[in-house]
Structure 1
Amino acid sequence: MANLNHLPVCYSLLALLLLLLALSSVRAGSNSSASAGTGPLYGIEFPPYNTAVADAGCDGRLVAEEEELARRTPSLKLHMTHRSASAGATGSGLFVLDSAKKDAARIDTMHGRRAALPGAAQRKGSRPRRALSERVVATVESGVAVGSGEYLVDVYVGTPPRRFRMIMDTGSDLNWLQCAPCLDCFHQTGPVFDPAASASYRNVTCGDSRCGLVSPPPPLTGPRSCRRPRSDPCPYYYWYGDQSNTTGDLALEAFTVNLTQSGTRRVDGVAFGCGHQNRGLFHGAAGLLGLGRGPLSFASQLRGVYGGHAFSYCLVEHGSAAGSKIIFGHDDALLAHPQLNYTAFAPATADAADTFYYLQLKSVLVGGEALNIPSDTLSAGGTIIDSGTTLSYFPEPAYQAIRQAFMDRMSPSYPLIPGFPVLSPCYNVSGAEKVEVPELSLVFADGAAWEFPAENYFIRLEPEGVMCLAVLGTPRSGMSIIGNYQQQNFHVLYDLERNRLGFAPRRCADV
């Protein structure tokens, strides 16, 4: 049995009441509006001599820490933050419902994009950069403080560089920021990006090959109009689900990153979306940092800078005030981890977009026993690992088998709570300091097994004494998704050179 003591997410009684009210509004068909909050800001650390960055508010203590790290190991890092439903104990209680709604729309969109954007079209127009055999590093933090179940990376963009908090998303490719003039935008923490204030900004023209990597804004359904290929801009439209989308101009800009061996590096000509119309549940973020497999993603465009085909991140607990790291390039400490395990990415298929990182899930174990789930149920829609989806999802028949397995194996000393909103099963664990739950493991086709601690698949709501399984079904797409909640306190490696995913248990706040 797995121990469910000291779980990371705590909820107030008011939060649960708000959760029930919000659920009723969802059933009535209402839409949530983006909420914003405040939280600690961390970003790419720059050396003290960079006065432009110092003026933008960079933390001197973190600069010193990063310089010390640079003297020890060469790599490129970005800082991450995690975001959840809203600030404080009350708001954090809303993130389950808010995230589940956003996840549902996102999953439907993923299914549509997989069919609409074949991998061959995504590969077109890739432009490799000169390798420097460096690594890039940034901090990642929980987004609970600003209103979401995702994680944030602080990135410096433009000339002079300015800091923007961007959602870290391995399930999409396009990097984008809300841009002035902001014709229809959600609320974000801090000012939007102003192209007129940057000396390095320039539009991608409609004749540029990179323009073919993005979809034109609706209502265009055929080929985009391009009267002057060398001067007309390249408008784009990128969607995530229901009302989550961004529309603007595809552009090129300088991104300033931190190299652990030689200070900072300004990378010119990084393609990103300058979004003038943006809608959805982005909760205070300035935009999104795409880390998918396509050529427009941040990971792909900077591959030559960090001199490799790998990146890794370590996600702190939801609601944690600590930050961790995303590392572009191989991390020696992770590679030396005694519990580092690998599983192969699934081979690409003709109808699968390059964006997603597919795995070959074979079976699900609860309490050490493989569940009776037909293999075609797990293979039909595929399985992806995704930092931009909060909870974990399985096709409805598989989810029902997982749900029933936990109900059958749970100790009768924890009364079942029927009819709890969104998640099921839920239990009354009032007064229990340590809660024992059945173990959960995922087994892949190559024999690799990912065993999770209880806090990665059960959410405990305090002080109400309610505990719920953080897994849901995907009735429409049939896609299985390993979300960021299950990835907490694992160092996860995307090794594209050897076509494999690595994972090792680690206290991410110490990375």
Structure 2
Amino acid sequence: MATSIFFFVLLFTTVLSRTTPDEASRTKTLDITSSIQKILNPFSVKTFNSFKQEENTVSSSSLLSFQLHSRVAVRGTSHKDYNSLTLARLQRDSTRVKSLQTKVDLVVQGIGKSDLKPMESEFQAEKIEGPIISGTSQGSGEYFSRIGVGHPPSQVYMVLDTGSDVNWIQCAPCADCYQQADPIFEPAASSSYSPLNCNTQQCKSLDVSECRNNTCLYEVSYGDGSYTVGDFVTESITFGGSSSVEKVAIGCGHNNEGLFVGAAGLLGLGGGKLSFPSQINATSFSYCLVDRDSDSTSTLEFNGKTSPDAVTAPLVRNSKLDTFYYLDLTGISVAGNAISVSPLAFKVSDNGDGGVIVDSGTAVTRLQTDVYNTLRDEFVKGTRHLTSTNGVALFDTCYNLKSMKSVEVPTVSFRFSNGKELPLPAKNYLIPVDSSGTFCFAFAPTSSSLSIIGNVQQQGTRVSFDLANSLIGFSPNKC
């Protein structure tokens, strides 16, 4: 009898030790008090702050490293309350997503480079029509780096964008330039400035270009009506005030339209031939996106190693569209249980449609409507103990948590084809939308077949793009 009891106790203890960690992984704790305190930060920064005089420092993990700042840290906000700030962010985000979807649609419809309309030879801005919306559709200006351009280097803010390839900066003389934080770049003051001729591979790689006196002209237009037009040149790009890369092809824009939040231009981090990583032959790059409401900084690094504790997933390329970085996502789980989705929901089709991209410029993760509905319904089942409230903008699942200090919510995890799983922190999928305690489930449906992992879900995580080994790594708390 004693022996039987002993084995029963041993069996019970063994089962308990195996199930307890799993049970613990089914939920995440959301710190309500901390989240609400953080959203007060944007209103303490009113103008461009002291980062304007900063010089980059060389990171210990990579010789090629830029400082990385959130939009709030650089610009502050003119909004009077957090709700209006949230609505403005979501409006920019919707424009951004529409533009990315349009890129894919053009590929699926078979519209290639040769089908694009050439630019007006006299830089006639009035010929390019469309509404001008705060922020850009390609890189809405949520994260910035301080970069040196030219010799001697002029320090400027650049928008970071994994969904774009062409790098560009506003240049004098300006036929039409928007307001930026730093002085307009003066090509005549740089000894490394060199125009590209029309026969160069860089010029031929542009989607829209024109030749004038054997000088290459470029145009990049965005889905919200913003655009940049000018000379396509090579310049020196400086890291850390000392390390530099020579002869990087960039657009020198003399005619630029749109409100780019004071940035001098855009640094394209996409997978195309003209992107910055491609031009410097980077084997990898990584970034850590700090909290969007924080004034802290992180780094954008090139040629560093992925952290040993990173959760890695296969990096998939679209043969029809080389700009985007596709993630081999196979499923999503809620509280440890995989939701039911079609095996094709996350796959890139032969015609270039579908798939899941990791994007620095999109804020809220977008999923196909059927997938989103299933995910949301499973999450709602696990949050019946919370008080629901009306939806906000594109968020249809929101809660009134004003009387609570912390809550337990179901864990949401991404599952990859290599069998690995990435559990998200609760603050990366249940976010405040006002200062009154309203929190919303930060995913949204899309009618497009393209799914997007947005920067809300990436915050606080170092995202590594191992280009040499076709892997994307996620390292929590490595900012």
Fold in common (TM above 0.5): yes
Secondary structure of 1:41's partner?
helix
For 2:295, the equivalent position in structure 1 comes to: 321
The structural deviation recorded for 1:376 is 2.3
Q: 1:343 aligns with which of 285, 288, 313?
A: 313
For 2:470, the equivalent position in structure 1 comes to: 499
The structural deviation recorded for 1:159 is 1.9
The answer to whether the Cα contact below 8 Å between 1:37 and 1:284 also exists between their aligned partners in 2 is no
Residues 471-510 of structure 1 aligned to structure 2 (within 5 Å): 471-475=443-447, 477-508=448-479
Residue 7 in structure 1 maps to residue 17 in structure 2:
no
Secondary structure of 1:354's partner?
strand
Over the aligned positions, Cα root-mean-square deviation in angstroms equals 3.0
For 1:289, the equivalent position in structure 2 comes to: 267
The structural deviation recorded for 1:285 is 1.4
What amino acid maps onto 2:77 in structure 1? A
Secondary structure of 1:420's partner?
coil
The structural deviation recorded for 1:10 is 4.8
For 1:403, the equivalent position in structure 2 comes to: 376
For 2:233, the equivalent position in structure 1 comes to: 251
For 1:128, the equivalent position in structure 2 comes to: none
For 1:447, the equivalent position in structure 2 comes to: 419
The answer to whether the Cα contact below 8 Å between 1:105 and 1:240 also exists between their aligned partners in 2 is no
Separation (CA, whole Å) in 2 of partners of 1:80 and 1:448: 28
* Cα shift readout 1:192-244 (whole Å, capped 9, x = no counterpart): 22223322212222222211111326xxxxxx5x4x7xx43222222332223
For 2:89, the equivalent position in structure 1 comes to: 99
Residue 75 in structure 1 maps to residue 63 in structure 2:
yes
For 1:433, the equivalent position in structure 2 comes to: 405
The structural deviation recorded for 1:174 is 0.9
* Cα shift readout 1:118-169 (whole Å, capped 9, x = no counterpart): 99989xxxxxxxxxxxxxxxxxxxx9xxx96611111000122111101111
For 2:125, the equivalent position in structure 1 comes to: none
The answer to whether the Cα contact below 8 Å between 1:10 and 1:463 also exists between their aligned partners in 2 is no
Of structures 1 and 2, the larger Rg is shown by 2
For 2:51, the equivalent position in structure 1 comes to: 41
The TM-score with structure 1 as length reference comes to: 0.74
Q: 1:212 to 1:103 in 2, by over 3 A?
A: farther
* Cα shift readout 1:172-203 (whole Å, capped 9, x = no counterpart): 11111122233333332122222233222122
The answer to whether the Cα contact below 8 Å between 2:70 and 2:144 also exists between their aligned partners in 1 is yes
Separation (CA, whole Å) in 1 of partners of 2:344 and 2:298: 37
The answer to whether the Cα contact below 8 Å between 2:79 and 2:85 also exists between their aligned partners in 1 is no
Q: Gaps spanning 5+ residues in structure 1: where?
A: 16-35, 43-56, 123-142, 218-223
Separation (CA, whole Å) in 1 of partners of 2:294 and 2:242: 28
Q: 1:463 to 1:418 in 2, by over 3 A?
A: closer
The structural deviation recorded for 1:358 is 0.6
Separation (CA, whole Å) in 1 of partners of 2:163 and 2:473: 17
Secondary structure of 1:486's partner?
helix
Residues 158-197 of structure 1 aligned to structure 2 (within 5 Å): 158-197=150-189
Secondary structure of 1:104's partner?
helix
Q: Number of aligned pairs?
A: 416
Q: 2:253 aligns with which of 275, 280, 297?
A: 275
The answer to whether the Cα contact below 8 Å between 2:82 and 2:434 also exists between their aligned partners in 1 is no
Q: Which runs of 4+ in 1 moved over 6 A?
A: 117-122
Q: 1:74 to 1:285 in 2, by over 3 A?
A: closer
Residue 216 in structure 1 maps to residue 244 in structure 2:
no
The structural deviation recorded for 1:96 is 3.1
Q: Identify which range, 288-297 or 104-113, moves more after superposition.
A: 104-113
Q: Gaps spanning 5+ residues in structure 2: where?
A: 1-26, 115-134, 349-353
* Cα shift readout 1:424-452 (whole Å, capped 9, x = no counterpart): 21110012000222111111222121110
What amino acid maps onto 2:64 in structure 1? L
The structural deviation recorded for 1:40 is 4.1
The structural deviation recorded for 1:90 is 3.2
